[in-house]
Structure formats: structure tokens, C-alpha cells
Structure 1
């Protein structure tokens, strides 16, 4: 943690040293982060902020009070008036720079909701801002890699299954599920950048650095930007992933998530719903029967609970939270490359 952040901690009572003080800015999906944090051991949700909480259906002061927090209509004011260890910034990318700067100047660690940025220019600008605070812990909310099933698969690929060679993955949102800002090229820049990025990060977590992209698809339902894509991603290791993404799903199907990996010494398959993986089936090449492992999924609103727990634990131990800012930059670069490949019909280097 940065020097200024450490000095904030040092002013607290000895009895409170292990309790992290959190704030949340942006109560769209950020309301889910706030509820998770309000119930998390070793964490105190101190304050929440949103410029227009009524647009989220929230009566701010009583809603915040139920979580044991104070409510603000200005995130900058919240950061100025509260003593915080960490803040969740869950506003659209174009509204983040001043919040990130204010948090960085105060040594407040940042849990940044995806996408990291709208496009590569925005990504470069955010990287420059964060670069002013090199010791500041920053984590991007690519929460799928923290689900127990995905973490277990990573262990298996490092162990008996060997490295992944060929992967097929599927994550497609329901149609009409995304707010309008997602489709604005200057803000969310499309569902691939804003949501399919979850699976793009998961593929990189499992297979390493991407080097090339090929893509087909387009705007099948008249969306402002592509709403369905089929993508082939090549990795530096020689592995290949085939990904289906977009927003063509049916709400009643509850956003099924699947990922099959064929590895050096075997095979595995993740399955789940509501963006999350709950089941893992795997076998070494010579096995007589597969191993079945299952986990109880949290509610859809609690999808980031494992990621937030990792973030909090990292702050307490002084270790770097993962994924950090570099993973956010990479996911934006991949989304931009997918659109370029759609337009050109050719493979694009990442």
C-alpha cells in the first residue's frame, strides 16, 4: 500500500487496525458491491455515493443506513470527507478520472468495475492517471477468475492436466439486458468491451498472453454496435481459444456460462449460469471416469464476492491484488482488436 495510505491506517485505534474502511461510488451494479461489503468480516462499509440514486430506484439515506453507511450524492465529496482504506468505483469509464485521481491522492486503494476503459485512447489516459500513484493497490473486477471452480481449473492446468491447448468458451448476455451507456462508443463501447471482457480475461488467466484475434459476427438485432461475435484468440503459448460472446441470449436461460479445455494430459469442462461457473468435470487422458466437482453459487448480485474478498485480503497482507491494471488494459485491447477483425475480415495482432 502507498505511504499516504499507510499513514491513514496508522491514525486508527489499535483495536481497529484489522478492519478495512470501504466506500462505494456508483449504485447501479455498485449496490451489489455495497451489500457484499456490508456483510464481509473484517470490513466496514463506511459510505456510498451516487449522483442520481433515484434513477437506480434508491432512496439514498435510508438505503445507506440499512447497510450501516452514510449516503452521499457526490463521490468526490465522499472521498474528501471520509477516512477510507479502499473505494469501489462502479461508474461508467468516462466518469472515473476525477474519482480515481481523488482516491490516488489520498492513498485510497481502488477496486475498479470493468470495463477498464471505453477504448485504447481512454485506456491510455486511465493508465497515465494511475501511473501517478505507482504504489497504489488497484484491482479490476474481473470476478470470474476468482470463482472457486475457475481457481480449481487453474490448479489442475498447473498440475495433472498440464497446460491448456484448445478451449471453447461461451458467455452471451440476454438481449436488451445492458443499459444504454454500454452501447455508446465513447462510454461502454459495446457489449464485447463491457461484458464479454469477463470471458476474455478468464481465457487469459487460463492460457496466458494473447497474440492474435480473428472474428466474425455483427449487429444481428440492430444494436448500435456488434451484439454477437465468434472469436478465435491465439496465445503466445501456442494455445487457441474459440469464444462466443455478445447479447443475443434469452432472459429465461439465465446467462449460461460454459468453458471446455483440452489440455496436454486431459480435458476439463466448466458449467454454470448467471455468468458464473458452478461445476467442473475433468479427467486425465487415461482415466476410466471423470472427476465431478461442484460449488454452491452465490446470487447474481454477489458475483463479485470472491473478488472483493481477495481484494480485502490483499490489502491486509500487503500483497498485490489480481487482476491489476494491466489486465484491464489487455481486455480493452482485445475488444478493440475483435472489432478491427470484424471490420477487416483479417487476423489482427494484439
Structure 2
């Protein structure tokens, strides 16, 4: 792939990992400006996939080896949606060929692994590497970011809630050597959204634990302090009920007003806001993609950025920061103390 400063007409893409990656493949197969060329999985049958007809239905070729796919196909970009411990060789192979990387969260298992991954990615400074923190690309969230820079002013106090259904996480997430828990694997969405809206976090205090007997904490309440002086309180984990459809909520009190984001299916689609001087709140809403297409906006940003020759966002620094926050939550649970992030 050419350097990110050179625009392209169509971005030729591949997907490795057909667990959640099948959702990315389906989006890319019809996304304007993208061409889905190939998909790969070591054990497609384990994902309930008959590889050849599945790939053909998407207009792509199927591989059982992601490295082979990268070597044999002419790709501009690749989605890597395998668990964290299986990524290094794929990233190195793709980036070494100048192929842009769209990387599923979490970025890494823990802080040590995050440093190793960061160093690996830093070895390819011209290659775009984007994290799939898809909530910040939802129109409701980008609109709120605009309002914080405008009439609402700086955020002061934030409350955020995103709790997965209790039976919604694959086994590898609970493996300390791989996913390292639902807070690292999923609550990271809230970490990134809060950092997108509030800036640099400096301290974490947490409570919670393994309420349902999972190997790692499955429910947490956290207080995060930011360098701006803002405070965020969040609830995360995997204690929810499937019938509730993973409601998401985020409310803010700001220097000049108040706002609230809400939505179903792990996403924000409704925004209500007002300044302190307004007589009535403003209500805005957006169409949300299907739950399986939650990354639609993020993938569209990734593809459009590559087509326009600009670097997509967020990059690997956001992935490192989310892992650091998850591990700070773990340390706070273990010690009962607040944990600095400096």
C-alpha cells in the first residue's frame, strides 16, 4: 500500500478472524469506496462457517491462514479481529507490506503487552493503524463533541453506563493471558468515549468484583479523574440481561449546560441537551446501524481516510490508554486504593 498521503479510488480490504470479524466483512462487502477481497480464519467451522460458500457470497476469497492471505492478495487494508495474543505476526506481516490495519479492541492483554504492541506498531510509522473504538464515530457522539467545544462548554461531571449481557462473552475474554476480562475487552469502549470527550485521564478509583463467579471481575463502578478537572463515574461489566438489549447511557453536566446520550444495542443514538439559559432542551436523533454493524461508521471513516490520503483516528495510542485504564481498575480493585495513571 502507498503512504497515507496518496489518495486511492477503491480500498481493497481483507478480514482475518471471522468471529466478530464476520460483521466487519459483511459491512465491507457493501461499503462505498471499499472492496472486500478476501477473508480468513484458522477454524471457520468453529465459527459455524462453511468457508468457501461464505466467502463467495461476500464476493471474496476464503483462506484458512491469515498470513497466507496477506502474502498472496493485493491489499490496501486489513481488519484484524483475532484475540490479542494472536495478532503480532499478522500486524507485522501486514504493516511490513504497507497494508493499513483496522484493529479490533482490546489493543493488548495488559500494560506489558501494550508496550510490546506499541513498539511493534511504532516500527511502521508510515502505516495507518486504527483502533475499532466505534462509539466515538457514532453521529450522536461526534455531535456532542462539537457541542462541548461550543455552546455547552467544558464537561465537569459525567456519568456513563454500559453493561453487557451476562452470557454474551466468548471464553477467551475471561482468559487472563488473552482477553484479560470484560473490562479490558468491552468496558474499554466507555474508556475511549470518555477520553474522546474529556481528554487525558489521571487517576482511577474502582469497586466491584466477580459477582457471578466469573474468573475475573464482571461488574465494576469506577471514578476517573481527568487532567481538565472533570470527573467521570462509569458502570461496566457483564451483569446485564439479554432482553434489555444492552442499553447505553452517558450524561454530562458542563460549564454552560447539560446533555444526555442514550441508545440501545451498545450504541448512542439519542442526544438531549440544553444550556443553562435555554427554556427547552434540544432533542436530536440518528439512525443506528444494526447491532452486527456497530462498526459501520468507524469502518467508513477508515476507508474514507485511506481514500483521501489522511490518517484515520483513533490510532494505537488510544488502544494503549484503554488498556492502562482497565489495568488501573484491576489494581484499584485489588488494593482498595485509587491508582494514578502518570
| Fold shared by both chains (TM-score > 0.5) | yes
Q: How many Å separate the matches in 2 of 1:286 and 1:344?
A: 44
Specify which of 215, 225, 234 is matched with residue 243 of structure 1.
Answer: 234
Structure 1's 226 and 116: CA in aligned 2 closer, same or farther, altered over 3 A?
A: same
Show CA shifts across 1:54-101 (max 9, x none).
Answer: 111110010010110000000000000000000000000000000000
Structure 1's 30 and 162: CA in aligned 2 closer, same or farther, altered over 3 A?
A: same
Specify which of 1, 6, 13 is matched with residue 2 of structure 2.
Answer: 6
Specify which of 255, 262, 270 is matched with residue 279 of structure 1.
Answer: 270
Structure 1's 66 and 220: CA in aligned 2 closer, same or farther, altered over 3 A?
A: same
Q: How many Å separate the matches in 1 of 2:104 and 2:81?
A: 5
Normalised to the residue count of structure 1, the TM-score between the two structures is: 0.96
Show CA shifts across 1:298-341 (max 9, x none).
Answer: 10011000000001111112212111000000000000000000
Structure 1's 236 and 9: CA in aligned 2 closer, same or farther, altered over 3 A?
A: closer
> Equivalent residue of 2:268, what SS?
strand
Q: How many Å separate the matches in 1 of 2:190 and 2:83?
A: 20
Specify which of 67, 77, 80 is matched with residue 76 of structure 1.
Answer: 67
Specify which of 241, 247, 258 is matched with residue 267 of structure 1.
Answer: 258
Q: How many Å separate the matches in 1 of 2:328 and 2:126?
A: 30
The yes-or-no answer on 1:125 pairing with 2:116 is yes
Specify which of 86, 102, 110 is matched with residue 77 of structure 2.
Answer: 86
Hey, what does 1:140 align to over in structure 2?
Answer: 131
Normalised to the residue count of structure 2, the TM-score between the two structures is: 0.98
Asked if 2 retains the 8 angstrom alpha-carbon contact of 1:48 and 1:69, the reply is yes
Q: How many Å separate the matches in 1 of 2:2 and 2:274?
A: 47
Asked if 1 retains the 8 angstrom alpha-carbon contact of 2:212 and 2:218, the reply is yes
Asked if 2 retains the 8 angstrom alpha-carbon contact of 1:208 and 1:236, the reply is yes
Report the count of equivalent residues.
341
Unaligned runs of 5+ in 2: none
Specify which of 327, 333, 340 is matched with residue 342 of structure 1.
Answer: 333
Unaligned runs of 5+ in 1: 11-15
Asked if 2 retains the 8 angstrom alpha-carbon contact of 1:9 and 1:85, the reply is no
Structure 1's 317 and 343: CA in aligned 2 closer, same or farther, altered over 3 A?
A: same
Give the drift of 1:9.
12
Q: How many Å separate the matches in 2 of 1:318 and 1:262?
A: 37
Q: How many Å separate the matches in 1 of 2:10 and 2:206?
A: 46
The yes-or-no answer on 1:170 pairing with 2:161 is yes
Structure 1's 289 and 186: CA in aligned 2 closer, same or farther, altered over 3 A?
A: same
Aligned positions of 1:297-312 closer than 5 A? 297-312=288-303
Aligned positions of 1:51-66 closer than 5 A? 51-66=42-57
Asked if 1 retains the 8 angstrom alpha-carbon contact of 2:4 and 2:127, the reply is no
Q: How many Å separate the matches in 2 of 1:318 and 1:79?
A: 22
Give the drift of 1:7.
7.9
The yes-or-no answer on 1:158 pairing with 2:149 is yes
The yes-or-no answer on 1:225 pairing with 2:216 is yes
The yes-or-no answer on 1:25 pairing with 2:16 is yes
Specify which of 300, 307, 312 is matched with residue 316 of structure 1.
Answer: 307
Give the drift of 1:8.
12
